[in-house]
Structure 1
Amino acid sequence: MALKMHGAMSTAALATKLAITGEAARQQLLRLAEEGLVAATAQSRGVGRPSQSWALTPAAQARFPDTHAALTVQLLDIVRSSLGEDALDQIISVREADTKAAYKRVVGEQAGLRGRVAALVRLRSAEGYMAEWREAEDGSLLLVENHCPICAAATACQGFCRAELEVFRSVLGPNTEVRREEHIVSGGRRCSYVIREVAGE
Structure 2
Amino acid sequence: MNTAEHTLFLLKTRGPQTAQQLAALLDLTSMGARKQLETWQEKGMVTFAEVADKPGRPSRRWLLTQAGHARFPDRHAELTLQLIDQVRTLFGEAGLDQLIGSREAASERDYRQHLASSRTLPERVQALVQARSSEGYMAELEQQEDGSLLLIENHCPICAAARQCQQFCRSELDIFQRVLGPDCSVGRVEHLLAGARRCVYVIKSI
TM-score tier, shorter chain, comes to: over 0.9
Counterpart-to-counterpart distance in 1, 2:90 and 2:161: 17
Match of 1:188 in 2: 196
Give the alignment of 1:94-173 within 5 angstroms.
94-173=102-181
Shift, 1:46, TM fit: 4.3
**Structure 2 unaligned blocks of 5 or more:** 1-8
What SS is found at the alignment partner of 1:84? helix
Q: 1:28 aligns with which of 36, 56, 66?
A: 36
* Percent identity of paired positions between Structure 1 and Structure 2: 51
Counterpart-to-counterpart distance in 2, 1:71 and 1:189: 24
**Structure 1 unaligned blocks of 5 or more:** none
Q: 1:3 aligns with which of 4, 8, 11?
A: 11
Match of 1:57 in 2: 65
Provide, for residues 77-135 of structure 1, a one-character-per-residue CA deviation record: whole Å limited to 9, x for no partner. Answer: 22123211111111111111111111101213201100000011111111111000111
Give the number of aligned pairs: 198
TM-score, normalised by the number of residues in structure 2: 0.92
Counterpart-to-counterpart distance in 1, 2:124 and 2:116: 7
CA RMSD of aligned residues (A): 1.1
Match of 1:83 in 2: 91
Match of 1:68 in 2: 76
Counterpart-to-counterpart distance in 2, 1:25 and 1:43: 19
Match of 1:14 in 2: 22
Q: Which runs of 4+ in 1 moved over 3 A?
A: none
TM-score, normalised by the number of residues in structure 1: 0.95
Instruction: Give yes or no for contact 1:179–1:193 (8 Å, CA) kept in 2.
Output: yes
Counterpart-to-counterpart distance in 1, 2:101 and 2:54: 51
> Which residue type is aligned with residue 40 of structure 1?
F
> Which residue type is aligned with residue 32 of structure 1?
W
Counterpart-to-counterpart distance in 1, 2:27 and 2:181: 39
After superposition, the Cα gap between the structure-2 partners of 1:69 and 1:17, relative to the gap in structure 1 and judged at 3 Å, is same
Counterpart-to-counterpart distance in 1, 2:181 and 2:33: 43
Counterpart-to-counterpart distance in 1, 2:147 and 2:98: 37
